[in-house]
Chain A
Amino acid sequence: MARTSPFGLLVLFVGLALSNGVLALWPIPRNLTTGSTALKLSPAFTIQVDVPNAPSDLYDAVGQAKQYLENDKLGRLVVGRGANDTTAVQGAKTISTLTLSLEEGATVNSITDEARAKFEDRSEEYQLTIPDDGSAATLVANSTLGLYRGLTTFGQIWYTYGADTYTLEAPFDITDSPAYPYRGLGLDTSRNYFPVQSILRTLDAMSWVKINTFHWHITDSQSWPLEVAEYPELAQYGAYSAQDVYTEQDIQQILSYAGARGIDVLLEIDTPGHTAIIGTAYPEYVACMTESPWSTYANEPPAGQLRFPLPEVRNFTTNLLASIAKTMPSYYFSTGGDELNLPCYTDDPITSGYLNSTGTTINDALDEFTNSTHSALIGLGKTPVVWEEMVLDFNLTSLSDETIVMTWISSADAAAIADKGFRIVQAPSNYFYLDCGAGEWIGDDPAGNSWCDPFKTWQYAYTYDPLANLTTAQQSLVLGGEQILWTEQSGPENLEPIVWPRAAASAEIFWSAAQPGGAPLNGTEALPRLQDVRYRMVQRGLNPIQLQPQWCALRPYECDLYA
């Protein structure tokens, strides 16, 4: 709870903050001071853009920010929902303007372009000042993306009671920037299909907590919803139905919607495993397709993997990935690489015959496959992203040093990847998998549980330490991380409640990393703020789950274990 107070009344200040409610910023800014003065938003409140040649997506963002200010109408999460604030609000000063500007010398790019910059070039920091005397608030940044982040923070400050929109904690002085450049959310749209509308809604929610990467696991063994102009048969044969597809136009709509919200889209085409569905269009390229028993050949049904050692499959995959990657603006592109099943190849006469006749090991064949597919991506200016097995289970000399490795099997695996010198995105299933805990979905297994039991609560995810077991030198390899939803048991019907507000946990870990005072993040401190995030999401029309009975949400800490 330690925050620096400009008045040096830290202890008293904390007491006041608790009695008024909680400061509800999420992710918590890395440096902030606040006060205890009431301040109202003028009914004529305007956001002024003081940026020469401001891009249109900045104006759109300002328009959206104003809409949230007008429509959120969030009652403060205290008993009475703000009824006791009327006296304070009545005497409060009114603020009429927020002025946005860029630092001197900053180049003016669109939010979209800034959101797609390389990690090392991404500028998300901002300074937000809200005086308590009614004079104009100011938001200054080095990029339009930073202004976007600051607008998001500004939108979390206000509550509504009756006709008034107000804060009780002015003045604000915030200097903020993310601890990590990659703050993602992963979604699998292959096990079950999600309409574009559901994805756009998810992007909205991501932007509210400053998540900046949509990791889109778009295809898998179960379905291929991605329409690819040069490979039309893939979706024709591989989508669940002609409606359950993402057209190129859909993809472009999602990319631009994401970009305008400060979000880069990292597309994943998982290869060479998780590809049974390719066999519906290209049967000769897939081994052990829908082989039985599936559990011998895959971690889940249906079995089927690319015959990656074959030159024609290598070339096909290379061209396919390049064909998709060239339509994607991001610098990053994932080729997957998890859960490769070796018996699938041992038992496949074509693959094993090829390996035997050429005297090639699976490892060497995989090295060659990776060399071919990744070279094409690098040729397009992309940085390849792979799952951890590609560096931990195989010895692939072809992987470029630039390759980014995503952990998933365990939080313990990051150290081994760091030992090999690769950059890391942390998506450990034991903290961050949003699908865990919902029980077995495989049939004929009534007593079966979720493979990654138990359910990963927001508060458990929140305890994740992305730097655990890493040396100081290795820590700089961690780009960030993400929570991810695998969708065997999900669809548009439960997407919002299963993801939100849980996915805000990693958003704060990777933006804030610590409390403003420097103390480690603490789930007990965070809960009232997360309740605020959750209730504001509901006001914005999202369906995030309840974290607790509302009785608890209105009484910070009274439902703590030892309260």
Chain B
Amino acid sequence: MANSALALWPIPRNMTSGSTALKLDHGFNIEVDVQQAPSDLHDAVQQAQKYLENDKLGRLVVGRGSNDSTAISGAKSVKKLKLSLEDGASVKSITDESRAKFEDRIEGYKLSIPADGSDATLVANSTLGLYRGLTTFGQIWYTYGQDTYTLEAPFDIEDSPAYPYRGLGLDTARNYFPVENILRTIDAMSWVKINTFHWHITDSQSWPLELSDYPELAQKGAYTSSQVYSEKDVQDVIAYAGARGIDVMLEIDTPGHTSVIGNAYPDYVACQNEAPWATYANEPPAGQLRFPLEEVQNFTAGLLSSIAKQVPGNYFSTGGDELNEKCYTDDPVTSQYLNSTGTTLNDALDQFTKVTHAPLVAMGKTPVVWEEMVLNYNLTSLSNDTIVMTWISSADAAAVADKGFRIVQAPSDYFYLDCGGGGWVGDNPKGNSWCDPFKTWQYAYTYDPLANLTATQAALVLGGEQILWTEQSGPENLEPVVWPRAASSAEVFWSAAQPSGQPLNATEALPRLHDVRYRMVQRGLNAINLQPQWCALRPHECDLYS
């Protein structure tokens, strides 16, 4: 620690490191000792080599490494990193491993880097574990002049994630993001071992998803004909993610957040563009599926299956947040139907959920829903396997756990990346962000995913994610608004604690996060500055009481 902060992120769960200088040999290569290694493992190795060659990150100390030259000139050189699988491990692609069910996902790895220049070794039980180990290996090295080196050899790392779900959420409906921006985001996710891209792809404002079975949705619902994701685009994103150890969890939010469906199917949407919008929706425009109607249930079930069958992940979100009931009370079509059939809204929602979830379950998907579906309604049709995402408050996990559901934590009071940007609704000059204040990386980092849960309930927590809602975002600010902040939850859910067993501590973490951020910049990402560079080069000197 005297030399600098060890800059691994997320910090491995078990590790020892030393204080010997070690160089990467100019002929350094990564050898894949895996029988019938899949092509995406070879691609990953090549990418890892590129980062080693191109990162050229100067160590974050005054002089950026100029004082290291003496230590480096006497250092040994490591020539090789050897990758192999444990005996008996089956060989699958990284892509397939990253889409396995949570209970079957193997991300652990062992990485040894001797100080004497002999070969480094990386061993895992799956190609996905090897991928994670390569990512760790890439965070170890700095460049000064011609040398790429570490001052902290030898390394002995035995690592595996504390939680199987470590996500990042992105809304591509409030504003559109070109595919290229999504791919870049997936790159950055992979650098901090985030393994799930939660893609909130549609909402009331736009429907950018092209569907060959339902072409009118994007034709009438995308912002323009160029602001769409073709079926091929979606497959490209999924493949790019898979090769980086990332599963794509698509969300088609229903039955609320669906106004735009009314452009193509006006009969299926209640209160579409009704004024005042504030009566019928949390934000403009109003409009929700008339879910009690049988034809709407069948339409939605058909639509969701049509989409779900195109995505390989085991998990598929049907949304379910912020259902506005007034929209239905004031909608003659829906309210007459409810009255004439003597159905309550809750029962109609139960039936809707049954009809829409059944085909998903039948095709092997596990449904994912927002917390209201279990906390605000009594839906007997929800399968016990259903995964529930919290968002309204960090206090809600306990109530979800009380009902026995598995949980993904995305509490707005810690993890919403859009908070603090001020009000965006017009004619409201004094309006602030509804979820003020801004959630800093350090505040998000204090999140305890097991707070208020019993020991038994703790096992229900699959992990969590930070998420960007994009009312005030677009490709223009995507990278700085997300990075490096989203690395906070990546560490909360991978490491859960410091290697020593001590709780995670933001004061300890800051210098490491600077390292992550500066390496991201070297890789061409527009990650925001966390502090003046003066502070980044002087760990802890800008702490509150220093």
Contact of B545 among A241, A293, A548, A561 (CB under 8 A): A293
Contact of B528 among A241, A489, A551 (CB under 8 A): A489
Residues on the A chain within 8 Å of B402, using CB: none
B284 contacts chain A at the CB level, 8 A cutoff: yes
Residues on the B chain within 8 Å of A494, using CB: 477, 480-481, 526, 528-529
A-B contact pairs, 24 of them (CB 8 A): A443-B546, A444-B506, A445-B442, A446-B440, A453-B437, A456-B422, A462-B429, A487-B529, A487-B532, A490-B528, A492-B526, A493-B529, A496-B476, A498-B480, A523-B426, A524-B427, A544-B476, A545-B474, A546-B476, A549-B470, A550-B205, A550-B206, A551-B174, A561-B427
Interface hit among A121-129, A294-302, A382-390, A417-425: A294-302
B534 contacts chain A at the CB level, 8 A cutoff: yes
CA of A336 to CA of B176 in the docked complex: distance in angstroms? 43
In the complex the two chains form, is B542's CB within 8 Å of A489's CB? Answer: no
CA of A448 to CA of B477 in the docked complex: distance in angstroms? 24
Residues on the B chain within 8 Å of A7, using CB: none
Residues on the B chain within 8 Å of A547, using CB: 424, 472
List A residues 24-40 near B (Cβ within 8 Å). Answer: none
Residues on the A chain within 8 Å of B470, using CB: 546, 549
Most buried by B among A221, A498, A554, A563: A563
User: Closest residue of chain B to A489, judged by CB?
Assistant: B529
- Given contacts A81-B224, A493-B479, is CB(A446)–CB(B471) below 8 Å? no
CA of A453 to CA of B436 in the docked complex: distance in angstroms? 9
> CB-CB contacts of A195-214 with B at 8 A, as 1s and 0s?
00000000000000000000
CA of A193 to CA of B440 in the docked complex: distance in angstroms? 22
- Given contacts A301-B534, A488-B529, A543-B476, is CB(A455)–CB(B427) below 8 Å? no
B223 contacts chain A at the CB level, 8 A cutoff: yes
In the complex the two chains form, is A240's CB within 8 Å of B528's CB? Answer: no
User: Closest residue of chain A to B64, judged by CB?
Assistant: A241
A442 contacts chain B at the CB level, 8 A cutoff: yes
Interface hit among A103-111, A171-179, A358-366, A433-441: A433-441
CA of A547 to CA of B470 in the docked complex: distance in angstroms? 10
| Across the A-B interface, the 10 shortest Cβ-Cβ residue pairs | A439-B440, A497-B477, A457-B422, A494-B480, A543-B476, A493-B526, A560-B427, A444-B543, A222-B534, A551-B205
- Given contacts A496-B476, A545-B473, is CB(A450)–CB(B423) below 8 Å? no
CA of A439 to CA of B472 in the docked complex: distance in angstroms? 17
Residues on the B chain within 8 Å of A427, using CB: none
Contact of B533 among A222, A462, A463 (CB under 8 A): A222
List A residues 106-143 near B (Cβ within 8 Å). Answer: none
User: Closest residue of chain B to A190, judged by CB?
Assistant: B532
CB proximity of B433 to chain A, nearest CB, Å: 7
CA of A442 to CA of B442 in the docked complex: distance in angstroms? 10
> CB-CB contacts of B152-179 with A at 8 A, as 1s and 0s?
0000000000000000000001111000
Residues on the A chain within 8 Å of B430, using CB: 460, 463
CA of A552 to CA of B64 in the docked complex: distance in angstroms? 47
CB proximity of A507 to chain B, nearest CB, Å: 17
In the complex the two chains form, is A489's CB within 8 Å of B531's CB? Answer: yes
Most buried by A among B273, B426, B472, B530: B426
CA of A546 to CA of B181 in the docked complex: distance in angstroms? 15
A248 contacts chain B at the CB level, 8 A cutoff: no
CA of A505 to CA of B174 in the docked complex: distance in angstroms? 24
Residues on the A chain within 8 Å of B276, using CB: 562-563
CA of A493 to CA of B482 in the docked complex: distance in angstroms? 12
> CB-CB contacts of B383-401 with A at 8 A, as 1s and 0s?
0000000000000000000
CA of A444 to CA of B541 in the docked complex: distance in angstroms? 10
CA of A545 to CA of B227 in the docked complex: distance in angstroms? 17
Contact of B438 among A240, A302, A439, A496 (CB under 8 A): A439
CA of A234 to CA of B342 in the docked complex: distance in angstroms? 81
Q: Which A residues are within 8 Å of any B CB, using their own CB?
A: 75, 81, 190-193, 221-223, 240-241, 244, 290, 292-295, 300-302, 437-450, 453-457, 459-460, 462-463, 487-494, 496-498, 523-524, 527, 538, 542-552, 554, 557-563
Contact of A548 among B431, B433, B471 (CB under 8 A): B471
Residues on the A chain within 8 Å of B173, using CB: 549
Most buried by A among B477, B507, B521: B477
- Given contacts A192-B533, A454-B432, is CB(A446)–CB(B506) below 8 Å? yes
CA of A180 to CA of B421 in the docked complex: distance in angstroms? 29
CB proximity of A436 to chain B, nearest CB, Å: 10
Most buried by A among B176, B283, B546: B546
In the complex the two chains form, is A548's CB within 8 Å of B532's CB? Answer: no
In the complex the two chains form, is A557's CB within 8 Å of B531's CB? Answer: no
In the complex the two chains form, is B426's CB within 8 Å of A493's CB? Answer: no
B359 contacts chain A at the CB level, 8 A cutoff: no
Instruction: Taking A191-B533, A543-B475 as given, write out 9 further A-B residue pairs in contact, using a Cβ cutoff of 8 Å, ordered by the A residue number.
Output: A81-B224, A192-B532, A292-B546, A441-B542, A489-B531, A527-B427, A551-B285, A552-B205, A559-B284
